[in-house]
Structure 1
Amino acid sequence: MHVIHALISDLDDTLLTAEHTLSPRTVRTLQRIQRQGVKVILASGRAAASMRPYVETVGTPWPYIACNGAQIVDAHSGEVLASSELPVALAREMLAWLKARDVYAQLYEEDDWCYDKPCRYADDYCRSSGVMGRRVDDLAAYIQRPTAKLLAVDEPERIRALIAEASDAFRGRLSVATSKPYFMEVTSLEATKGNAVKKLAAMLGLTPETTICAGDSLNDLSMLSWSQLPVSVSNARDAVKAVAWRVAGNGQQDGIAELLDELIPEGYTC
């Protein structure tokens, strides 16, 4: 039996159902392993405000990772304990680049997200995140301080092309990632889930040998690469499954809970 002291898990398509909820079984398992001494930490591309209901449902007291690693947030107070944000000038440059290509974009600030182009993408994001966005006249003019993340949304084929183009155009200046086929997520160069996990590990005394990191998408690869117990779900991208120590069942159908029940049975203590 492997010694497991912590679980760091992505949310969407890894722990959440297709309806963006935590199933009763998954909640029971996560709460059980916490009672047995395992730290449960959530790590998502979502903004902190969108993650908070899941943190509260799981009942984890440990800091969580938001905006693809741009923020580490205290679970009790909501205070940002560590951050790696996009400078204003660079954020404006990226927003102008996206606007020139007629791509919908939004930015994040504290418990809010803002957009300047009303369309179905804004409506869809509001429904999936559970957080109302705020419309402004012009994002580039509006932004006055560093931001945790910019998000561009378009059809999957176009997003693939935009990621390739932006990665080349902004190489060495910022990070471009994706958690869903229709998202391009832009953060500072230092803001990755992997870097945030390393910071949390130093804070909490976690080790790669005893920490499961679980995810499904390309933005999870950096934290899975840190762990010696990397887990993917069966619905994960092929590149993620390729680095996994174990592949759980479907992330939208309690796959992680099933694997945790096997790896951390009743009676296990750490």
Structure 2
Amino acid sequence: MERIFEGCLLVTDMDGTLLDRDKKISLENREAIERFVAQGGLFTIATGRIAVSARPYVEQLPVGAPAILYNGAVIYDFAQGERTWSKNLPASAKEVVERVIRRFPGIGVEVYETTNDYPTIAQNNEITLRHQQIESVPFQKADRLELVPEPWIKVLFAWEPERIDEVSAAVGELTGDADVLWVRSDDKYLELLSSGASKGHALERLMQQLGISRDRCLAMGDHLNDLEMIRRAGVGVAVANAHPELLGAAVHCCKHHEEHAVADAIGWWEAQLRSAISKP
């Protein structure tokens, strides 16, 4: 088979990009990814999910490179079952979380530790309860934030969209001197990461690990946590259902995630590569 994608890396977000509304991988997406790999490409995912949540999807796909997890705070090799890189939150992040809880007492708080494969619920609400159902992993429960072992990888805040908007507007006051990064991963989720731990930073590190040149990397996503990733890839693609900032930053806009977006992006990229080869 012709290896048109030799030396290429395709990295896709999962929820809202690779997966449909039922959290399934369509046959069209799976077959296109298999064809991409058969033609020489390397495929992997970049997601806010943890390893145990992402694994059932990885097992359905020809993932040939380490995955970006925890919204960029971890690079994980599923083949070896280990992290190849991670960046923890600084100790000062705990004070940030305490300030958030004091100011917004109804907010849901999930803490992702380095020593536990599962998240710990430091404060529950309707959105965190729904998130637990979606993730289908055994969340832990802590009665108080002080009881959650450190260090932490990330903290996810969950609430109704309009309330998360309020929290987002206050992050400057809430952060203080902590060296942290805030990312909006969904209209209901706001996440706290270490500075330099975005999907974009992780993608740069992954390209370096794999020896992939920037112009041979396509990254695609739908929400603000994907923004740095599609900016740092040579070929940044936004799905049609993407946040307006992603649509503005992308090199290309593909189909809606309900319309086999990954397959559409692969088809478009192949046409671009063939066109470049045919030019004199």
Q: TM-score, normalised by structure 2?
A: 0.88
Return the alpha-carbon distance in structure 1 between the equivalents of residues 246 and 54 of structure 2: 23
Higher relative contact order (CA 8 A, sep 6+): 1
1:106 aligned to 2:110? yes
C-alpha contact (below 8 Å) 1:174/1:188 kept by paired residues: yes
Match of 1:74 in 2: 77
Displacement after TM superposition at 1:69 (Å): 0.6
Match of 1:205 in 2: 211
**What is the Cα deviation at residue 3 of structure 1?**
8.0
How big is the shift at 1:2? Answer: 9.1
Pair 40,118 (structure 1): closer, same or farther in 2 beyond 3 Å: same
Cα distance in 2 for residues equivalent to 1:4 and 1:214: 18
Which letter maps to 1:145?
A: E
Once the 2 structures are TM-superposed, how far is the Cα of residue 148 of structure 1 from its aligned partner? 1.3
Aligned residue for 1:149? Answer: 154
The counterpart of 1:57, out of the listed 56, 60, 64, is: 60
Q: In the alignment, which residue of structure 2 is the partner of 1:163? A: 168
Instruction: Judge conservation of contact 2:51–2:69 (CA < 8 Å) in 1.
Output: yes
- 1:164 Cα offset (Å): 2.1
**8 Å CA contact 2:238, 2:252 repeated in 1:** yes
Counterpart of 1:94 in structure 2 is 96
SS at 1:149's partner residue? strand
Q: CA deviation at 1:126?
A: 1.5
Question: 1:119, CA displacement in angstroms?
Answer: 3.4
TM-score normalised per structure 1? 0.91
Cα separation, 2, equivalents of 1:116 and 1:169: 18
Cross-structure match for 2:278: none
**Matched position secondary structure for 1:37:** coil
Aligned to 2:244: 238
Which shows bigger deviation, 112-121 or 47-56?
Answer: 112-121
Distance 1:234 1:157 in 2: 23
Give the Cα separation in 2 of the matches to 1:75 and 1:167: 36
Pairing of 1:1-270 with structure 2 (within 5 A): 5-87=8-90, 89-100=91-102, 101-102=104-105, 103-109=107-113, 110-138=116-144, 140-170=145-175, 173-264=179-270
* Contact 2:100–2:174 (Cα < 8 Å) also in 1: no
Task: Report if the CA contact (8 A) 1:43-1:193 is conserved.
Answer: yes
1:227 & 1:104 partners in 2: Cα distance? Answer: 33
Deviation at 1:217, TM superposition (A): 0.8
Give the Cα–Cα distance (whole angstroms) in 1 for the partners of residues 243 and 216 of structure 2.
24
Match of 1:167, SS state, is helix
Query: Quick one: distance in 2 between partners of 1:151 and 1:212?
Result: 27
Q: Residue 76 of structure 1 aligns to a residue in which SS? A: coil
Structure-2 separation of matches of 1:262 and 1:245: 12
Q: How many residues align?
A: 266
- Taking only the aligned residue pairs, the percentage that are identical comes to 27
Shift of the alpha carbon at 1:128? 1.5
CA contact (8 A) 1:153 1:184 kept: yes
RMSD: 2.2
